[in-house]
Structure 1
Amino acid sequence: MATIKDVAKEAGVSIATVSRVINKSPKAGKTSIEAVRAAMSKLGYRPNANARALVKKNTNTIGVLVSDISDPFFGSLLKAVDQVARDNNKHLLIGNGYHNADAEREAIELLINSCSESLVLHSKALSDDELINFAKEVPGLVLVNRYIPEIAERCICFDNYKGAYMATEFLIQNGHQHIAYINSDHKISDAEERREGYMQALQDHNLPCPDHYTLDAHLSDRGGKEAMIELLAKNVPITAVVAYNDYMAAGVLAALEESNIAVPEKMSLIGFDNGLIARYVHPKLTTINYPIGMMAKQATQLSLKLAKNEEYTAENQVFQPTLVKRFSVNKIHSK
């Protein structure tokens, strides 16, 4: 692994100059900055976060990475982190990753360079190895909704597989035998795990799961609506739908309403997340509760303790789904 001495040698400058560039000192000249950055890039060198924090004496921030700050799901995550931060006289620095590896990497680098000793990351696009390397550099790094065995003690995750299994089985228990699934088109573990849970529930009950019963769609109400329209156009003989999240389920509801298909009388529907929208669509949406606020709170408390090198065992590292029954599922009887 390259050191600051290696960077100084490669750039042809002193170690002090490298330090000034790293810490963005106004005394660093343009030529020196360019030379040092080129050397760092060539050598794959990234300054140690703790060393930077000691130089700047800036330890009052918590860095948070989310996929999209405009998504209410991540709004709930941020609110929970902020509550813990305020209790500890900290402030938030926030980065968006958009399920994109380059964007996630850039945001994490920025948070580290801003000397955040505590990092709470919802990272889905970066590899396990990259996140492990970041964790080695930042003792206060904790992952939310991601499990990596090598740093399991720093992971606060959710059983997505069980949640989808639970949703599908609830429909089966209500007499449904032809159940469609509308999944996210993001290539992330959540989507894979939920699809697997859905399929396993069908298999365990000896029910059909043909390929045309499942669709991948954009992670939004529009995506859910378009997917449901496609299912209707295929004339798929289904009586129920499981949606990847509540916003996609809301789009499904809109498509069914426009086609004069009553929910739940003619089509049952289950969402995922138990977001605010689930309580205000009509009919109110049966869904799977995803306790992201509790998870984020736990992750932040763990992050703060790790940053201080204090002993701390998370109360719960794998959170479990629960079914929230409302009015979008109807019981049907076999003929």
Structure 2
Amino acid sequence: MVTIKDVAKAAGVSVATVSRVVNNGPKVSDKKREEIKKIMADLGYRPNANARALVSQKSTTIGVVVPDISDPFFAVLANGIDKVAREHNMQILLSTGGHTAESERQAINLLLERRCDTIVMHSKKLPAEELVGFSKAVKGFVVIDRYIKAIAERCIWLDNLEGGRIAGRHLLMLNHQNCACIMSNFAIDDPVHRHNGFKEVLEASGVALAPELVKYAEPNPQGGKLAAQELLASGKPFSAIFVYNDAMAIGVVTTLEDNGFRVPQDVSVIGFDNGILAQFSRPKLTTLDYPVEEMAQHAAKLSMALAAKDQTPPKQEQKYVPLLVKRESAARM
């Protein structure tokens, strides 16, 4: 492996001079700088990122923590951060947090060991107090998809309560009086808020959401299938279903049609996320748009801005609200 000493010897300069070139430091003429860069390229020298961070006190990576890289939602999130990183000649370092507090803790500690001073973290399991502590230790620490009042200025989050309300208003506008709800069984705030917003709007209009018509399952197509089967087995009539996410909604639609129900003629279905599945399902899925890529880019830019400054940013909410995307799976009664 070619070292910085090899470059210095080939260029006839000191290691310190090569280091200045690597770190864009002063006291090197433009001519000499170009000569050294050419020698570095010819020799195939690659600067050590950790060593550069030690010298410059600035990491060239954006640390990213997501629960599961196999989930398309988190792939889109990571891609949004990666776009911003590349615009600033940086790379992302991805660490998976799983679905437990301990695995999330291990994921962020791994990034801290790599000297990441810009970190965007998706955390649903770590206590809020612990995330506040990380925000004090890491200048560029940002939380995405979660609101923590104590560090509101570092949180990029979606108003899931309002998302549930929007779904409820739309189904009421379509004259649905017997509504069902299928939510994720993960012990996180998102399904709770979406369900509560949905129920709130229905009850305000005098429409009850029967407990037998609220089902929980894993947030994937198989979970949607199982929850839909439970709804059908309940014997309770329903004309519309609000589903936690698009993946579950696809399983719901398939199960309904396998059992002789037409969507939306017999049962309307509304999903959540507006991912790629919603656009290519049959029928095309009416859903709530979750602007995850836009939020991820916002989080990355905020993280970099915080890392570059010593002052604390002003406390302000950075909230996003989902938008209804009308397609083919929801219709008037």
Provide TM-score, normalisation by structure 2: 0.81
Contact 2:153 2:317 in 1 (8 A): no
Counterpart for residue 216 of structure 2: 216
User: C-alpha separation between the residues in 2 aligned to 1:247 and 1:300?
Assistant: 26
Counterpart for residue 254 of structure 1: 254
Q: Which amino acid aligns with 1:197?
A: G
User: C-alpha separation between the residues in 1 aligned to 2:279 and 2:143?
Assistant: 29
Structure whose alpha-carbon radius of gyration is higher: 2
Q: Shift of the alpha carbon at 1:96? A: 1.4
Counterpart for residue 82 of structure 2: 82
**What are the equivalent positions in structure 2 for 1:122-161 lying under 5 Å apart?**
122-161=122-161
SS in 2 for 1:241: strand
**What are the equivalent positions in structure 2 for 1:172-191 lying under 5 Å apart?**
172-191=172-191
Counterpart for residue 12 of structure 2: none
Query: Does residue 1:331 correspond to 2:332, yes or no?
Result: yes
Q: Spell out, residue by residue over 1:231-251, the C-alpha distance to the aligned partner (whole angstroms, 9 max, x if none).
A: 101112100000000000000
Q: Shift of the alpha carbon at 1:200? A: 0.5
Contact 2:153 2:316 in 1 (8 A): no
Q: Shift of the alpha carbon at 1:99? A: 2.4
Q: Shift of the alpha carbon at 1:257? A: 1.4
**What are the equivalent positions in structure 2 for 1:50-129 lying under 5 Å apart?**
54=54, 59-129=59-129
Contact 2:121 2:142 in 1 (8 A): yes
User: C-alpha separation between the residues in 2 aligned to 1:181 and 1:204?
Assistant: 17
Contact 1:65 1:121 in 2 (8 A): yes
Contact 1:157 1:318 in 2 (8 A): yes
User: C-alpha separation between the residues in 2 aligned to 1:322 and 1:313?
Assistant: 27
Contact 1:122 1:143 in 2 (8 A): yes
Counterpart for residue 285 of structure 1: 285
Contact 1:66 1:121 in 2 (8 A): yes
Q: Spell out, residue by residue over 1:145-184, the C-alpha distance to the aligned partner (whole angstroms, 9 max, x if none).
A: 1111111110111111101110121011101011110000
User: C-alpha separation between the residues in 1 aligned to 2:193 and 2:211?
Assistant: 17
User: C-alpha separation between the residues in 1 aligned to 2:314 and 2:285?
Assistant: 36
Q: Which amino acid aligns with 2:331?
A: N
User: C-alpha separation between the residues in 1 aligned to 2:97 and 2:175?
Assistant: 41
Q: 1:93 to 1:314 in 2, by over 3 A?
A: farther
Q: Shift of the alpha carbon at 1:320? A: 1.1
User: C-alpha separation between the residues in 2 aligned to 1:236 and 1:55?
Assistant: 67
User: C-alpha separation between the residues in 2 aligned to 1:55 and 1:199?
Assistant: 55
Q: Shift of the alpha carbon at 1:54? A: 3.8
Q: Which amino acid aligns with 1:242?
A: F
Q: Shift of the alpha carbon at 1:208? A: 1.0
Counterpart for residue 44 of structure 2: none
User: C-alpha separation between the residues in 2 aligned to 1:326 and 1:316?
Assistant: 31
Counterpart for residue 323 of structure 2: 322
Q: Shift of the alpha carbon at 1:310? A: 6.3
User: C-alpha separation between the residues in 2 aligned to 1:302 and 1:255?
Assistant: 42
Q: Which runs of 5+ in 1 are unaligned?
A: 1-51
CA RMSD between the two structures: 1.8
Q: Percent identity?
A: 42
User: C-alpha separation between the residues in 2 aligned to 1:104 and 1:242?
Assistant: 30
Counterpart for residue 22 of structure 1: none
Which range moved further: 266-275 or 54-63?
54-63
Q: 1:128 to 1:316 in 2, by over 3 A?
A: closer
User: C-alpha separation between the residues in 2 aligned to 1:262 and 1:225?
Assistant: 15
Contact 2:273 2:287 in 1 (8 A): yes
Q: Which runs of 5+ in 2 are unaligned?
A: 1-51
Q: Spell out, residue by residue over 1:270-322, the C-alpha distance to the aligned partner (whole angstroms, 9 max, x if none).
A: 00000000011110000000001111101100000111116777997101111
User: C-alpha separation between the residues in 2 aligned to 1:102 and 1:71?
Assistant: 20
SS in 2 for 1:209: coil
Counterpart for residue 199 of structure 1: 199
Q: Which amino acid aligns with 1:107?
A: A
**Residues paired across the two proteins, number:** 281
Counterpart for residue 305 of structure 2: 305
Runs of 4+ more than 2 Å apart: 52-58, 310-316
